[in-house]
């Protein structure tokens, strides 16, 4: 059941807290994080390694569970759902881009992009193939669709990952250090491509990064330090 009071928000959290055990002592990684992101916004969460930003992304996406507080994603209260139910919410319109690409090595570029469309089962196979081909052509890989990940450069693999992420027109895209494993020139190209695709799709973008230049391309910026999140004035 979708909470009608939060439909204007694509994603929000209230008093979100994450505590783990470090040895036999509790360690609070996130401290009462409040966040509200509107549909179509691009938001960057910046901070040093270990500040808690990737933990926050995992909680916002329902990949992990909080110790306390609430996350609402696409109108659904994730804190009230088990893993299967959270996965069902993600299947409604959530995609990811990671630093390490996470392509399936035994599938070609085309097959990697086709996979999420096949899982959704909402298109005929020939239409899935045509859509995957269109997406790969759109990221400049029209001549590389039959190549496997180990035959592609890091930048090419991340372009495949972007095409896969935008397959099915997700409502929310979580990007965790999407240029972290790329050289500066390739990273800049991937950044431009990410924001171009995002603007065309009107997708809500939640970007976790330590790269201040990349973060500056987002409409809003938040800084994470010692588990506390604060919005940055732009």
H or E stretch covering 155 = helix 154-166
Q: With beta carbons less than 8 A apart as the criterion, state whether 25 and 4 touch.
A: no
Residue 8: pLDDT band with limits 50, 70, 90: low
pLDDT greater than 50 at residue 4: no
H or E stretch covering 163 = helix 154-166
pLDDT in tens, 96-113: 999 899 999 999 999 999
Q: How far apart are CA 223 and CA 208, in angstroms?
A: 10
Q: Is 135 or 4 the better-scoring residue by pLDDT? A: 135
Q: What pLDDT score does 68 carry?
A: 95
pLDDT in tens, 20-37: 988 888 999 999 999 999
DSSP 5-70: GGTTEEEEEEEEEEEEEETTEEEEEEEEEEEEEETT-EEEEE--TTSSHHHHHHHHTTSS--SEEE
pLDDT greater than 70 at residue 2: no
**28-55 mean pLDDT:** 93
pLDDT in tens, 158-208: 999 999 999 978 999 999 999 888 888 998 999 999 999 888 889 999 999
pLDDT greater than 70 at residue 1: no
Give the rounded percent of residues in the chain with a pLDDT score beyond 90: 71
State the pTM of this model: 0.89
Q: What pLDDT score does 50 carry?
A: 83
For the chain, the average pLDDT equals 91
């Amino acid at each position: 059941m979708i909470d009608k009071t939060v439909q204007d928000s694509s994603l929000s959290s209230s008093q979100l807290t994450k505590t783990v055990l470090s040895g036999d002592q509790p360690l609070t990684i996130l401290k009462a994080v409040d966040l509200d992101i509107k549909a179509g916004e691009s938001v960057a969460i910046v901070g040093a390694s270990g500040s808690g930003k990737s933990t926050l992304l995992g909680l916002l996406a329902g990949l992990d569970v909080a110790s306390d507080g609430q996350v609402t994603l696409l109108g659904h209260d994730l804190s009230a759902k088990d893993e299967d139910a959270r996965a069902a919410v993600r299947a409604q319109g959530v995609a990811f881009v990671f630093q390490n690409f996470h392509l399936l090595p035994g599938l070609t570029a085309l097959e990697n992009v086709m996979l999420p469309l096949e899982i959704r089962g909402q298109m005929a196979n020939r239409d899935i193939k045509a859509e995957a081909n269109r997406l790969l052509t759109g990221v400049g890989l029209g001549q590389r669709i039959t190549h496997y990940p180990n035959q592609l450069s890091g930048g090419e693999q991340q372009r495949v990952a972007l095409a896969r992420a935008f397959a099915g027109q997700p409502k929310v895209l979580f990007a965790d250090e999407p240029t972290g494993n790329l050289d500066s020139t390739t990273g800049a190209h991937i950044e431009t491509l990410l924001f171009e695709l995002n603007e065309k799709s009107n997708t809500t973008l939640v970007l976790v990064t330590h790269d201040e230049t990349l973060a500056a391309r987002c409409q809003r910026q938040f800084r994470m330090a010692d588990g506390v999140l604060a919005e940055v004035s732009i």
